[in-house]
């Protein structure tokens, strides 16, 4: 079952992509004490993710932060080096790139996806969440092939 509003984020290991290389963290550490706009993509550098999803959060970062969001994070089932390269190319200093390299977080929140028929293996569904001190305030999961409910614009409407 997918994570729901009011649920606590499960504690799993992640890597934060930084200019100094991958920094290990856990979701318990990362989400503690702050309000985070989290969005998940099926893959870094993929068409919708690069052309629309990440850019929507880069463009709306100031508005999200003005409405009480402390941090904005993009998560994908990619390694931290790929997430770092994608962040450098298409992201901004306002977006933290989180690597869920083994898909543990995607599975733990019940939002994993089988991308095998696209040659992508295990991935994450496209979604957004608003997480406050580790507790889910909003969760917006896209229907397969869609892009709307997980956009920065949609999350802004919920704030």
Residue 81: in which H helix or E strand, if any? Answer: helix 80-90
List CB contacts of 65: < 8 A, sequence separation 6 or more.
Answer: 72, 94
CA distance 97 to 71: 11
Residues annotated catalytic, as ranges = 49
Q: Among 15, 34, 20, 46, which Cα is nearest to 131's?
A: 34
């Amino acid at each position: 079952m997918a994570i729901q509003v009011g649920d606590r984020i499960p504690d799993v290991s992640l890597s934060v992509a930084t200019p100094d290389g991958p920094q290990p963290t856990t979701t318990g550490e990362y989400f503690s004490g702050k309000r985070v706009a989290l969005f998940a993509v099926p893959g870094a550098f993929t068409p919708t993710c690069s052309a629309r999803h990440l850019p929507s959060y880069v463009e709306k970062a100031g508005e999200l932060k003005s409405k009480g969001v402390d941090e904005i994070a993009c998560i994908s089932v990619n390694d931290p080096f790929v997430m770092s390269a994608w962040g450098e190319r298409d992201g901004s200093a306002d977006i933290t790139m989180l690597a869920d390299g083994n898909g543990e977080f995607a599975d733990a929140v019940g939002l994993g996806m089988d991308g095998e028929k696209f040659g992508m293996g295990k991935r994450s569904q496209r979604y957004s969440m608003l997480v406050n001190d580790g507790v889910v305030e909003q969760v917006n999961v896209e229907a397969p092939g869609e892009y709307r409910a997980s956009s920065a614009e949609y999350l802004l409407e919920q704030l």
